[in-house]
Amino acid sequence: MAESGAISASRRLLQRLRDLMASTGDVQERLDQVVRLIAGNMVAEVCSVYVMRAGEVLELFASEGLKAEAVHLTRLQIGEGIVGDIAARARPLALSDAQSHPNFAYRPETGEEVYQSLMGVPILRGGRVMGVLVIQNRTRRAYTEEEVETLQTIAMVLAELVAGGELVSPDELGPGGAHPLSPMRLTGVAFNQGLAIGRAVMHQPRAVAHRLVAEDAEIELERFGSALEGMHTAIDDLIAATDIAQPGEHREVLETFRLIAEDRGWIGRIREAIRGGLTAEAAVQRVQDDTRARMGQISDPYLKERLADFEDLTNRLLLHLIGENGENVGLERDLPDDIVLVSRAMGPAELLDYDRNRLRAVLLEEGAIHSHVSIVARALDIPLIGRVSGALDRIEAGDTVIVDGDNATAFIRPGEDVQAAFAQSMAAAARRREAYAALRDEPAVTRDGVAISLNINAGLLVDVQHLDDTGAEGVGLYRTEIPFMVRPSFPNVDDQVEIYERALEVAGTRPVVFRTLDVGGDKILPYVAAPPSAQEEENPAMGWRAIRIALDRPAILRQQLRAMIRAGHGRELHVMFPMVAEVAEFDTAKEMVTRELERAGTGRKTQPSAVKVGVMLEVPSLLFQLPALLQRADFVSIGSNDLMQFLFAADRGNPRIAERYDVLSPPVLSLLGDLAAKCRTAGVPLTLCGEMGGRPLEAMALIGVGIRRFSMAPASLGPVKAMLLSLDVGELQSYMSQLTDSAAHSLRPKLRFFAKDHGVVI
Ligand code: PEP
Ligand code: MG
């Protein structure tokens, strides 16, 4: 194939550059030769390299053309002068009249006043600015697009020398180019609390090309072609595999992916870079650096998504080129014993791919958190912070990270002082845990003899195992969707029987309350067909979810009930339905239980000794049908997480309003007090299984309004027990009776005051 002289010249230059860089000898001398070589090839009077040093400073490290005394003397802040500007924006600049540029900063020691035009490009590695490469010309020169590209390619090769640690100590090189390797604090939104320390593991490791300069462009073009083909096939296979699931969100994402993968501009630019002398992997990376620089400034969420798609695609392609036949090398890595997982987004199944004995915490960059990931994090009792913007850019694999889930803060590469403070908090937490463990066998009875039933929420077998170490009475909420979410396909009746049997086995004689599937909205099972409109739901929490799906697709619920009945043979079975909005829905669902029991009765298997059918109170409309409901339900469980969001019309996942309304407020407490009284009169057991019940002060107030049974995350049981052992319910009730007509925004300060005054441990 015929090629232009410029292309073969670029290739020759890259090869010479590589050889120069690889040669032995003084690194400064090599760098001096490098700038001389570039200046000659680019027909420029000046070629300079600025390297990023600690403290956001760009230092002139070598120059052909500028005064020698300026080398290692001239320093520019990020954003200062044209060079600083290039670093700040991570974008190339080509100026035929640099001195009239508003950012021009004249440094007398360089003698650069005689040079009119300037072209500079960032020295990027893995998307990070490591320095700036500049050429200058005495006369006005209009640099071409092609020349800019050539200089970018050279800068990429040069990045290896900078990253090699010979020029500046590796300690100074670090993420973001912003104060490299310095400690850093990142904040987000806490989805599960707790404190942990560990080493960063990138969920999807970023592939980095190390062989940059090619021997033979034809071979590289072929490698690129077959990697592209391999990737296309992999995506097609994925699409084909999801065909059975009908068009759904998953499929659409993949289709978009394929469209991008076929983007001619993108492919063309990569091929061009290969022809210019780069290896296939270096070319893919180079184009990605460029795309990132172009799109990085954009705030439009749609375009940001596209950038993320390109990042994913690049990574896949790089793994095809560097990894073994494109196999995901992700999980076969040597992982540390204390993993702080860092990812853009993640599903619960992916989280469970990791050894849970090593998992310490999770940081997610993505805005929307798959709610089941946080449930899994809760089940594993590890802190999870979401919406940590910049996490992927600023954290490097292997970095020490302290995750403070209580304050939604992550400390990256913490200094000794922070680590020491952290160690103290950890020790205190461990002491508290020991103290709680000592309470395990104490009966959960208040000082004035009121018995409180404490149960745990579960979804994984590990949770059920916590029955023993917490001393809980039973499982008050078994979220059946969790085992569904962590499987690659829909479990059939036999599989489900096994899941429920194992939970019942571990629980032994202690009761387990199974909640039927609560999926839909944001809790999509990847293998279940969503209706075409489901993904467009504007308010998924108020959309087609839970009992609504179960009643519209009765086969799923029937199978689930069948499996529960089979698993519960010979013992009392507890089933409850989520998100019921009206008694008629409960009736229909309960009717299905009756029918499944009848069906099971015709078989030979033993039946459950009794079946109790309950309802979750999560939708406020149901509160206005209490008399009818309490005649029908065997038990009621308050899902306060959902009930509060619907009561206050405040999205439970929206951090902006997370603090706006308080659960310890007059409307909530009077509503729950009223509900508790009515359930007691009707003789219907009432439990509260939302998060608020797991917080000591909240639990105290709930006991005050008459709630006697709770179900909570296993880790919350100790603190709540410690609280109730120190509580006198009579005193609390008389105190709270004075607050009934309060018009305050929150009763929290008063309740806290009561606790302090009466020695209640909160
Ligand atoms: C709730 O809504 O309070 C509840 C326990 O259910 P989930 O958190 O699973 O929606
Ligand atoms: Mg709920």
Q: Does residue 180 register a pLDDT over 60?
A: no
DSSP string, 263-278: -HHHHHHHHHHHHTTB
What CA–CA distance (Å, rounded) separates 138 from 116?
A: 5
Q: Does residue 670 register a pLDDT over 70?
A: yes
What CA–CA distance (Å, rounded) separates 127 from 177?
A: 10
Q: What is the dihedral of CA 469, 473, 476, 478, to 10 degrees?
A: 50
Average pLDDT of span 163-180: 61
Question: Which two tokens mark 760?
Answer: 């209640």
End-to-end CA distance of the chain: 78
> Residue 482: nearest ligand to its CA?
1
Residue 591 burial (CB count, 10 A): 10
Please name the residue whose Cα sits nearest to atom 4 of ligand 1: 639
Backbone conformation region of residue 189, classed left if phi is above 0, alpha if psi is from -120 to 50, else beta: beta
Residue 652 burial (CB count, 10 A): 18
Q: Which atom of ligand 1 is nearest to the CA of 639?
A: 3
Q: Does residue 329 register a pLDDT over 70?
A: no
**Residues in CB range of 443: below 8 A, 6 or more apart:** 451
Please name the residue whose Cα sits nearest to atom 6 of ligand 1: 639
Residue to mutate (ligand 1; options 460, 479, 695; most atoms within 8 A of CB): 479
**508 three-class SS:** coil
> Does residue 349 contact residue 486 with C-beta atoms inside 8 Å?
yes
Q: Does residue 642 register a pLDDT over 90?
A: yes
Low-confidence winner among 197-206, 227-236, 541-550, 711-720 (lowest mean pLDDT)? 227-236
**18 three-class SS:** helix
Inter-residue long-range contacts of 267-272, CB under 8 Å, 24+ positions, other chains counted: 267/228, 270/224, 271/221, 271/224, 272/149
Question: Which two tokens mark 42?
Answer: 């680019």
Residue 218 burial (CB count, 10 A): 11
Question: Which two tokens mark 190?
Answer: 């806490």
Residue 32 burial (CB count, 10 A): 18
- Decide: residue 426, CB within 10 A, 0-12 exposed, 13-18 middle, 19+ buried: middle
The predicted pLDDT at position 302 comes to: 59
Distance 476 CA to ligand 2 centre (A): 13
Residue to mutate (ligand 1; options 478, 618, 619, 637; most atoms within 8 A of CB): 618
Give percent of the chain above pLDDT 70: 86
| Among 54, 101, 102, CA closest to 77 | 54
| Chain segment 461-514, per-residue pLDDT in tens | 878 888 998 999 999 999 998 888 767 678 899 999 999 999 999 999 999 999
What's 369's DSSP letter?
P
Distance 619 CA to ligand 2 centre (A): 9
Distance 518 CA to ligand 1 centre (A): 9
Q: Which atom of ligand 1 is nearest to the CA of 640?
A: 3
How far from the centroid of its chain's Cα atoms is residue 612's Cα?
38
Residues with a CB atom less than 6 Å from ligand 1: 477, 479, 518, 618, 639-642, 689-690
Distance 689 CA to ligand 1 centre (A): 7
Q: 187 φ, ψ to 5°?
A: -120, 160
Distance 570 CA to ligand 2 centre (A): 29
| Among 141, 144, 136, 139, CA closest to 120 | 136
Q: Tell me the β-bridge partners of 195.
A: 404
> Residue 481: nearest ligand to its CA?
1
Distance 642 CA to ligand 1 centre (A): 6
